[in-house]
Each structure stands twice: as C-alpha cells, then as structure tokens.
Amino acid sequence: MTMEPLNRSEFVKLIALGGAGIAVLGGPERALAALARADNDLDRAALDGDVVAAHAAAGKILAVAHGTSAGTNTKKAIAAIGGMRKFVSPGDVVVIKPNIGHPRAPKYAVTTSPSVVATLVSLARQAGAKKVIVMDNPVSSDPAHCYSASKISAAVKAAGGSMKVMGSSGYKRYAIPGHLLKTHPLYAAIVNADVLINVPIAKQHGSTGLTLAGKNMMGCTSNRQKMHTLGLSQSIAEINAKLRPELTVIDAMRILVHNGPSGGSLSDVRTKNTVIACKDWVAADTYATRLFGKKPGAVPYIKAAANMSLGTMNLSSVTIRKV
Amino acid sequence: MRDDTRVEKPPRDGGAPVARRRAAGGWKAARWVRRAVQIAVLVLFVYLLFSALQRRSAFPYADLFFRFDPLAAFSTMLAARQWLPHLALAVVTVGAALVLGRVWCGWICPLGTLLGWFRFRAARPLAPRVPPRLRGVRYVLLGVIAVMAALGSLTLLVLDPIALLTRTFTTSLIPGFDYVVGAVESAMMDWGPASGAVTWVEDHFRGTVLPVYQPHYAQGVAIFLVFLAVVLLNVFADRFWCRYLCPLGALLGLVAKVQVLRPLIGDGCNACNACMRACRVGAITAAAAGAGGSGEAAGARARVVTSECTMCLDCLVACPEREAMGFGPALRPGPWAEYDPGRRQFLAAAAIGVGAVTLLGTSVARAVKSPGLIRPPGAQDEGAFLSRCLRCSECMKVCPTSGLQPSLGQGGLEALWTPVLASRLGYCDYACTACGHVCPSGAIPKLGLGDKREQVLGVAVIDRNRCLPWASNTPCIVCQEMCPIPDKAIVLSGQHLITRPDGTQDYLARPKVVAKRCIGCGICEYKCPVEGPAAIVVLPSNPSLAVGGAPGGSSSPEG
C-alpha cells in the first residue's frame, strides 16, 4: 500500500487539525491558540511557491489586519488581497452593506465601525467608482435613526459616499438558487449594483450562533419572516447565492459576545482590533468564528453555504495573510 | 386703496352700486389681510402637524395651537385641578376676544378657515330656515364640557375644534396622503423614466413631508367621517359648526358679549340688509323695513350680534353706505338673545354632564383593566391621565412607529380617542421620548431618555402554544433579538443544535420573559413572526409576575 507524500500545506493542516482536536479536550481557549498557531504556519508555508500565485489568481487570499486603528486595518487588509482596483472598476456603482440593524452607538459592537465603512467608501472612490451607496434595512427602529445613531451616516458622507434609505417600493422578487426559498424579495439597487461589498460586524446571535457576513445579507430583504419560518440558516445561504457579494470585509475591531445581535451593554463587548477581508465570504466567516472560540461548524449557515459551494470552509485552501 | 375705476362689475349683494364702490375700498383691503392671515395660519398649522410626524424629536412648538386654545386650557386645568403654565397662552386668546370678539374664529381657527371654504349653494335658501335656537346647542355643549371637567372627565374634549382637526389629519388625511403617494410611486416604478423621479422624491421627502412608514390608525375612517359630517353640515348654513356646535366658539362668544371694540351700524344705515346677506355666520339681525336715517329708533337698524360675529369684515365690504358701518368702542354688554344660555341651558348642561360622568363611571373599563390598555410612557396613572389628556392625537402622530392608536373600547367610552399602545401595530421605541414632548397638557410627561426607559408600560407574556420554538420546535429568536434592554428581558434557554428533516441545521433555543426587567415596550410583540396575533403579547404590568423574575422564573408557570 502506497501513500501519496503529503505536501507541506497538507502536512501542516493535518498537524493543525490534530492539534486542535487534542486541544479541544483542554478547552476552547487552547483550541483557539492551536488554530492560531496553525494559521501562522499555514501563512508561512504558503507564502512561497506556486500556491500563493494560484490563490492570488483565484482571489483566495484572506487578509487579517491587526491594529488599533479601524481605518488603517481596513486599508492594510484590502491592500493585502490585491487592492480595491481588483474589485472596483472605473465607473462602477458600488453598494456597501454594513450592519446597521439597531440604533446603537459604535461602542456597543452592534453596528459596523463607521471608520471601516468610510475607509471602504474612500477606497472605492479612489478606484474610480461612479457612485458609492451605503444602505441597510434595520430590523429595529427606522433607517434614518439607525444611520445616525450608528454614526455611519456622518462618516460615509464625509468620505464622499451617500446613504440610502431602503424604501418599500425598491424591493423586487427574484428567483433564488436552492431548494427552500425559490423566490424572495431583495432590494433591486443591491442586486443591480456593479459591485457589492458586504461589511458586517462580528457578533453573537441567538439563532444562528454568530452574525457574520452571511447573516448580514439579511438586510437586503424585506421579508425576514419567511426566512425564519422556513429555516433561517439555509435561507441565509440561499439569498447569498443570489446576492454573491464581490468582497467581504468583517469588522472585528470590537465584537459582541453575549446578548447579540442587539446588545446594549459594554460588558458584552470584547476588543479584537481585527479586520478580515476576503473575496470568499464563507472563508471570511469561517475565520471569524475563531475570534469567538467557536468552530465554523457551529454556525449552521456557514456550513449550508459551503454545502452549496458558495465558498470554502477549508482554510487550508486559502492563503491567510496577517498584516 | 380705493378701486373707483372698477365700475363695470355689478355688486353681488344689491344696494346702490355707486355708493358701494365708494365705501368698500378700505375694508376690502382689510379683508384681504384677513384672508392672508387665515391662509398663513392654516399653513403654519399644517407645517406644525408635519413638524411632529413620526419623529423622535419634534419641533418644540408643535403644540402651539393647543397652547392658545382656551377651551382646552380651561377644561384641563379644571379637571386636573392644577394650574398648567404650558397652556397659559390661552389667556391671550381670551384677551383678544375681550377686545375684538371672536377674532380667533374668523382669522385664526384653521377649522373655521377650512369650513369657510366649503360653501354650498343649498345653504342660501336653507340658512334662514335653521331655527336660531340651535345656536344654544354650542352653549349646552360648553356647559356639559365644563361640568364634566369639574367632575374630572375630559371625554367631550373630542369636540374641541383644534383637537378635532388635528385628529383628522393624524388618523386619516396624512395616512391617506402617504397612501396615495405610495400608490403613485409603485405604479411609476415599473416605468423606467419615472423611476428616477420616484427615487428623487423618496430621497428628499421621506422622513419630512412623507412619513417614514405608511401610518395606519384604528378608526381613521370613523374620525374622517366625523370631520366630513362637520363639513357637510355646511349644506344647511355656511360654517354650520361654528354657528351652532363649536364649544370653543361658545366660550369665545360669551367673552365677546362684552367685546370692547365692536362692529357697529350707525346712522348712515339705509336698511338695505346687504350686511346681513353677506354675513357667513348669520350674526347680523335684519333691519326693519323703512328703517335708517338719523331719526329712526336704534332697534330698527340692522345690528351685529357680537357673540356670533367672527370679525371677518365681509359686512363692511358689502355695506353700500360709507358712514353706516364701522368699529367703535362699547362698554355695555351685548343684549341677551333668545338662544343665549339661560337657566334651562345651565340645568340641561348640568344634568347631561353629571349623567354622562355617572354612566361613564359605571363602565366595565373601570372594573377590570382592559388587556389592550397600555398607555404611553409615564401615563400609567389612568385617572390622572384621563383628566389631563386633550384627545388631540399629537402623540399618535409623532410616534415614530405609529404604535400609539386612538382607543375605542379599551378604556371604556370615557377614554374615547385617547392614546393606547397597540404593540402589534407599533412599539414604544427605546430611544424615543417624543410623545411626552409634544403633549400639550402634560398628560404624557416630558421625560429624559433615562427616565423614559424606566417607565414600565406593561409586561410581555409568551403564549407557548403559539411560540414557534415552544409549539413546533421551529428555531426563532426574534423577540430576544429585538429586546432593547441591555440585560435582555427575554432570554434564551436550552440552546442546542438541531438537524432538520432536510439535513440543514439550526439552533433551537426557547425564549423566556424575565418579567422584572421587562418595560413592556412591545417590540417583541410587534416583530413576532407568527402570523396573526403575536405569540408574545404585552399585557398591563402585573407586579405578581415580576416577583420571581430570575431567568428561570419566566412569565408562564412551567420552566
């Protein structure tokens, strides 16, 4: 019986998984540490050779930027995955979809950091975008209130973008890939945008485990109820299959670990000083689960999306760049 | 400004054409000023209505008209047994009436202005046949309002003209306006070239002229029909409401009995009765045939009844004799007409008032707290609230979720059209204090955000027979997700991963209410995805539920 010799990245992955498996017995903290170590190894392992070139070509680079400035992290992360020009062409209409679901100030880690959003607006404009429009369909309270309370409105306008209130007349019913929803109302201006950038904040959520990029796309529909009743996680995967954002940037500068997604208490907030960027939102979400000490399998919509081949949960198949 | 040059136009109201031309000029200009004032005031009124439309912070003078409304001020202070400085500007209106009579009715009142525009041909022959005694009705209404207010009830303030008009705008005209705009926009969206215009309108006017959400109000149609009836009564006489029914007009009419500066008909009167025919409110008694001239007895001339006159100046424009009419000081009270309030009207008002308060007091709403009776934040003392609330609907209009609705039966007939929170229609926003800030009478107190967040309106209760995770193992956490309380008044218990029949996975966790943390804001009831009545409802707060309180001790007995 012969065995294919492992290449380096497969070997590292094996070690990492084994290590993680053992470490789970010792508690999530250690598992997380082991995974983080594995990341570094993967990173170093992949930096040279053909793999990185192949990954860069396929957009399979996942950038993880650390630092205390949200804006700088965002710039570094976007640069590390090839720069905004890779995603935005001159004359494009760009829609940026942060999480502005609740009327909370930024410090509560309920809404996306204004500087992350504003930096993306600037970068998109520098890349030649004709228009950069920022919008969300808040779940509680009205849009104008959430836009101003989250401080996103002011930041976006200062950066030269515009905020849009998603009025009820702007939704259209679209055919949705998958077996559950079949058709679903989505906001036409988002579906028709040349480039859609998904900018969630990472936070805990009671019925999906975590609110990350996949869940954030729920702000593009006017009918959440149907998604809840039919099966939330699969529905989330399916609307993502239709929306297919070109770029995903996860704000994990501060994350909400309890009482999500609406929060409201600073004691539930943890500082992570991290911004994640990737073309593949499934990979980005998979990576982000680690910040909570969770495994990606514990967030059912990530798994449902991977099953629909919307992206990969296998982080060894992407190049992780820490910047 | 004389218009001597315009000779070609024959006068509408008879009289000698040449003489009329000479007389009318100056008063015509004054009448244009009156019309301009009326339009400006109506525009201001509508502007103020929109300045407090689905806002968290309203224009601070949104309730300006109520502050000048002596009927609201007088009866509220009487019912609340308290001096309310916020309503003290009503003194200005009363002062104006002492000098200039019902100038409020003719120049200011937005309902009066609107009613003045709805004139029907049928009213000309019909108006003289309406029995003058009917004018006494408004005094009886005023008396009943006063007696009921003295007994602590403000139920009949639903007839206050400013409240009536505001309520009509709030519950029917503004929602109808937005509905039409929405329907036109939807139709235009399907046609490419027009969709840009729709977007432009939405971007520029949504949230200011257009409400953020399409408002829906209980009884909007009924309230509109009341308004329509008031308008259609004009078929019988111009400004029928103002002549016969308006209790505020009655109050100002009583003051106008001693009006200092009065329209007077002097020696120049030629008894042509042009003034009488011109008067919209029938305030001028006819001159006897052949009267006029300096030697005639005063009683034979046409006479302006100050308690009816709205100071609109139409008669002065119509008078063909330059010297016959004008304003002059008078200190003697005007004569008492047959329809003016007397002993019988006082007795009737007292009997109706006492009887009404008695019957309303036996209402079933007094026996049990109705499940639908959730009051705005800070208005939880029902008795105190009812003796302060003007039934004006400002709070319902400003409510950013339109959750405050005019009550019909929830508080008994006594509480007709007072605000109740209907959480299935809209919730009490955690970041909002608007209702207390637009309330003219302080029935809903002005609260800071911190204080408002501690007002307990009610308590949420889960119906486990309908709640998705409890009744059908369907994952749903919408209520917990929406709960704005930082520590969460709804907690999830027993969170575990389940696999559905189709192989997909979700978390199943079951929500429970921590009653002692719940403030009854109702966002859970509003957002509950169960169709029809929500599986979580806000009921009047119940101290016995709040005792246990801990996450284990939910609002339903079994844990």
Over residues B126-138, mean pLDDT:
92
Residue A60 pLDDT? 85
Three-class secondary structure of residue B457 per DSSP: coil
Q: Is the pLDDT confidence value at A284 over 70?
A: yes
Contacts of A264 in chain B (CB under 8 A): 484-486
Phi, psi of B373, deg, nearest 5:
-90, 75
Radius of gyration over every alpha carbon of chain B, rounded to an integer in angstroms: 29
Residue B112 has pLDDT above 70, yes or no: yes
Chain B neighbors of A233, CB-CB under 8 A: 504-506
- Asked if A8 and A45 touch (Cβ cutoff 8 Å), the reply is yes
Q: E-assigned strands of B198-315?
A: 261-265, 284-285, 303-304
Average pLDDT over chain B, rounded to an integer? 88
Interface contact B206, partner A, CB < 8 A: yes
Mean pLDDT of B452-481: 92
Interval A252-278 mean pLDDT: 93
DSSP string, A76-134: HHHHHTT-GGGT--TT-EEEEEE---S---GGGSSS--HHHHHHHHHHHHHTT-SEEEE
Other CB atoms closer than 10 Å to residue B119's CB: what's the count? 14
The pLDDT mean for chain A works out to 86
State the Cα–Cα distance between residues B531 and B473, nearest whole angstrom: 16
Name the amino acid, one letter, at B519. Answer: I
Percent of chain B with pLDDT over 90: 64
Cross-chain residue pair A145–B400, CB shorter than 8 Å = yes
Identify the pLDDT of residue A8: 56
| Helical packing angle, A114-126 and A70-80, nearest 10° | 40
Condensed to tens digits (0 to 9), the pLDDT of residues B317-338 reads 999 887 788 898 988 888 888 8
Instruction: Please answer whether residues B28 and B4 qualify as being in contact, where contact means their C-beta atoms are separated by less than 8 angstroms.
Output: no
Q: Which two tokens stand for residue B201?
A: 């309108």
- pLDDT for A113: 97
- The strand ranges marked E within B409-458 are 419-421
Q: Which member of A169, A180, A259 has the closest CB to residue B185?
A: A169
Tell me which residue of A254, A226, A308, A63 sits closest to B468, measured CA to CA. A226
pLDDT of residue B331: 85
What average pLDDT score do residues B136-165 get? 96
Q: Which of residues 383-412 of B touch A (CB under 8 A)?
A: 400
Please give the average per-residue pLDDT across A153-174, as a whole number: 92
Alpha helices in chain A (DSSP H): 8-25, 28-47, 50-58, 70-80, 114-126, 143-149, 152-158, 188-191, 213-216, 224-230, 232-243, 281-289, 300-307
State mean pLDDT over A121-125.
Answer: 97
- Interchain contact, B476 vs A103, CB within 8 Å: no
Would you call A165 helix, strand, or coil by DSSP? Answer: strand
Return the pLDDT at B559.
33
Strand ranges, E, within B341-499: 404-406, 419-421, 459-462, 490-499
pLDDT at B3: 42
Whole-model pTM: value is 0.82
Point out the residue among A169, A229, A262 whose CB comes nearest to the CB of B484.
Answer: A262
Cβ atoms of B416 and B391 closer than 8 Å: yes
The predicted-structure confidence for B185-196, as pLDDT tens digits, reads as follows 888 877 778 888
Rounded to the nearest 10 degrees, what angle do helices A232-243 and A300-307 cross at? 50
CA gap A167, B432 in Å, rounded: 22
- Using an 8 Å CB-CB cutoff, list chain B residues near A225: 529
Please give the pLDDT value at position A208.
Answer: 82
Helix (H) or strand (E) run with residue B423 in it: none
Whether B554 has a pLDDT exceeding 70, the answer reads: no
Q: Do B475 and A205 touch (CB under 8 A)?
A: no
pLDDT at B51 over 90: yes
Write the DSSP string, B262-273. EEEE-TT-----
Mean pLDDT of the region B194-204: 84
Angle between helices B90-100 and B70-80 (to 10 degrees): 130
SS3 A49: coil
Half-sphere exposure of B151 (CA within 13 A, CB side): 22
Which residues from B are below 8 Å from A103, CB to CB?
A: 430-431
B2 falls in which pLDDT band (50, 70, 90)? very low
Comparing B129-143, B259-273, B414-428, which segment has the lowest mean pLDDT? B259-273
Residue whose C-alpha is closest to residue A266's, from B450, B486, B483: B486
> Quick check: B224 pLDDT over 60?
yes
Give mean pLDDT, residues B32-45.
97
**A301 or B368, higher pLDDT:** A301
pLDDT of residue A16: 56
| Residues in A lying within 8 Å of B, measured between beta carbons | 102-103, 139-145, 149, 164-165, 167-170, 179-180, 205-209, 224-225, 228-229, 231-234, 259-265, 298, 300, 303-304
Residue range A115-119: mean pLDDT, rounded: 98
Structural domains in chain B, CATH included, are 25-167+221-253 (no CATH), 457-559 (3.30.70)
pLDDT at B553: 40
pLDDT at A1: 43
The model's confidence at residue B57, banded by pLDDT at 50, 70 and 90, is confident
- CB nearest to A165's CB, from B206, B400, B509: B206
Lowest mean pLDDT among B44-53, B96-105, B360-369: B360-369
pLDDT digits (tens, 9 = 90+) for B268-322: 888 889 999 999 999 998 887 654 444 444 446 788 999 999 999 999 999 988 7
Which of A207, A218, A225, A302 best probes binding to B when mutated, by most B CB atoms within 10 angstroms?
A207
Q: Which residues from chain A sit within 8 angstroms of residue B185, using beta carbons? A: 169
Cβ pair A138, A97 in contact under 8 A: no
Predicted local confidence at residue A201, as pLDDT: 97
Query: Could you give the 3-state DSSP secondary structure of residue B156?
Result: helix
Mutate to test the interface with B, among A141, A166, A256 (most CBs of B within 10 A): A141
pLDDT at B532 over 50: yes
Most A-contacting residue of B466, B481, B524, B536 (CB-CB within 10 A), to test interface: B481
Q: What is the pLDDT of residue A139?
A: 86
User: Under an 8 A CB cutoff, do A206 and B481 touch?
Assistant: yes
Between B269 and B66, the more confident residue is B66
pLDDT in tens, B350-406: 999 999 999 988 887 777 666 678 999 999 998 899 999 999 999 999 999 999 999
pLDDT of residue A47: 45
At A236 the pLDDT is: 96
Angle at A127 between CA A121 and CA A133, to 5 degrees: 35
For residues A156 and A190, is the Cβ–Cβ distance under 8 A? no
Between B73 and B294, the higher pLDDT residue: B73
Q: Chain A residue closest to B511 (CA)?
A: A206
**What pLDDT, on a 0 to 100 scale, did the predictor assign at position A229?**
80
Q: Which of A203-212, A250-259, B250-259, B445-454 has the lowest mean pLDDT?
A: A203-212
**pLDDT tens digits, residue range A37-70?**
444 444 444 444 455 555 555 568 999 999 999 9
Nearest CA in chain B to A169: B186
Domain ranges for chain A, please list them.
1-48, 60-322
| Calpha distance B361→B50 (Å, rounded) | 36
How would residue A209 be classed by pLDDT, with cut points 50, 70 and 90? Answer: confident
pLDDT digits (tens, 9 = 90+) for A88-102: 999 999 999 999 999
For residues B140 and B145, what is the distance between their CA atoms, to the nearest angstrom? 9
> Could you read off the pLDDT of A12-33 as tens digits, one per residue?
565 555 554 454 444 444 444 5
Q: Are B247 and B159 in contact (CB under 8 A)?
A: yes
Q: Looking at the complex, does the CB of residue B196 fall below 8 Å from at least one CB of chain A?
A: no
Look at residue B62 in the predicted model and tell me its pLDDT.
94
CATH number 3.40.50.1820 is the correct assignment for the domain at A60-322: no
Interface of B with A in 56-115 (CB under 8 A): 56
Q: Which residue has the tokens 């000081």?
A: B329
Predicted confidence at residue B4, as pLDDT, reads 42
How far apart are alpha carbons B528 and B537 in whole angstroms?
9
The per-residue pLDDT for B290 is: 54
Residue B502 at interface with chain A, using a CB cutoff of 8 Å: yes
The b/e string for A40-53 (b: 16+ C-beta within 10 A; e otherwise) is: ebbbebbeeeebbe
Quick check: B241 pLDDT over 80?
yes
pLDDT of B446 > 80? The answer is yes
